Chains A and B, each alone.
Chain A
Amino acid sequence: MTFKLFSEHLLIVVAAEVLALAVGLPLGVLCYFSPKARKPILWVVDVLQTIPALALLGIIMVLAGAGKQTVIIGIALYSLLPIVQNTNLGLLQVDPGVKEAACGMGMGRMYRLIHVEFPLAFPVVFTGVRIAAVNAVGSAVFAAFVGGGGIGTAIYKAIRIQNMNMLMQGTATLMAIAIALDLSMGWVEARIKRGHSSMKKAPARRN
């Protein structure tokens, strides 16, 4: 288990999540704005996640060639479902009274979204990102298969040369990353939520 494989793995996960956020957030907002677009968008991201990982990577590989970019695109597509779904859900769950108050203050549609609705929906969005990131750590194993490097390389090699030690090391590292990511993002999530509730309870203190 070299450091290179480890950092490659992390790089793939982070890059994929950034890409997924860049695509998923606007899609989630679009779902929220237009109920007509919601159904097809949610259907497409759901179908994307249904496609077997290796099949999806294979198809992308035909288009994008072998290498990291293929894995990053593939994992980003997988991550879309929790991100889009939670963005949409978080925005829908914002208190209608708050939305109306913002409207009554004369805020425009985009202004309301950026300054009122999205900040209030943020904890739910973050939960989506957390689910996506933890899943991505597991899916990134398939990177090895399309020449993208990462811990999967060690695992594949271990299976091919039937080396149990190496296999266990790879797996343990992988699980450690997943669990560490889950716990740390869970901690951040709890803090964000706490911050939100204290903001609601004591608005007078913020002036």
Chain B
Amino acid sequence: MTKFFEIYGQMLLRAIITHLEYVAISVSVGFVIGLALGILLSRIPKWSTFIMPLVSIFQTIPGIVFIGVLFLYLGMKPITVIIALSVYAMFPVLKNTYTGILEVDEGLKEAAKGCGMSQFQSLFRVELPLAFPNVIAGLRLATIYTVSWAVLAAMIGLGGLGDFIYQGVSANDNTLIIAGAIPAAVIAVALGALIDRLQKLVTPRGMRRGAAQ
């Protein structure tokens, strides 16, 4: 065990950092774009009737294919992975923002209007806060997917924990596989738990314990 860390310790640490970098950057980019597009689409329901099914179909393309296609066009650069992961991180956030806002009780929107709120005030003071738990659920999905797909970065030679798994599989070296797989699993589970916490924090007080709805 100690011998393993002597040889691979540095490499493993670097792989974990690369992995986290991919996840942090892509999820931030995807979250911002997804949130913005989700809000936008909820304002123009006419467009969304055909954009949402398109999003669903696009989402069925496996991440590996998308990374592969971008790789053929953009070449072996970190930006290839970041673009692919950001696009995939965007979808769940976009979907959840959109459905979250649409699911807000009509009565509450009407009440906001009746209080004299403008469109913007109604969106930012009433609809978004109520939709936020949903948005964070999207963020959780996006994060977990991204951790999972960042492993694929190694397939086009761009590091991360996937490097260990790939090398381990091709060299039939179980230690290497485990060295890549366990941290990847731990990162995914830990980030998921962290976001669950966050979700509890952002749930408006009236909605906790299912008071509203």
Contact = CB atoms under 8 A, between A and B. Distances in A.
B185 A138 contact: no
B185 A62 contact: no
B189 A51 contact: yes
Interface string B167-199: 011000010011011101100110010000000
A66 B174 CA distance: 11
A26 B144 CA distance: 27
A50 B192 contact: yes
B144 A55 contact: no
Interface in B136-161: 144, 147-149, 151-152, 155-156, 161
Contacts of B13: none
A155 B192 CA distance: 30
Main secondary structure of the interface of A (DSSP, over half): helix
Which of A52, A159, A171 neighbours the largest number of chain B CB atoms within 10 Å of its CB?
Answer: A52
A141 B62 contact: yes
A1 interface: no
B148 A53 contact: yes
A56 interface: yes
A175 interface: yes
Interface residues of A, number: 33
A164 B62 contact: no
A124 to B, nearest CB: 20
B60 A159 contact: no
A37 interface: no
B92 interface: no
Given A52-B148, A55-B151, A162-B72, A174 B169 contact: no
Contacts, number: 99
B61 interface: yes
Interface in A8-44: none
Contacts of A138: 60, 62
A103 interface: no
Interface stretch (B27-35, B63-71, B204-212): B63-71
B184 A55 contact: yes
B68 A155 contact: yes
A31 to B, nearest CB: 20
B151 A54 contact: yes
A78 to B, nearest CB: 11
Given A170-B65, A171-B65, A58 B178 contact: yes
A146 interface: yes
B62 A179 contact: no
A113 interface: no
A91 B188 CA distance: 31
Interface of A: 47, 50-56, 58-59, 61-62, 66, 134, 138, 141-142, 145-146, 152, 155-156, 158-159, 162, 164, 167, 170-171, 174-175, 178-179
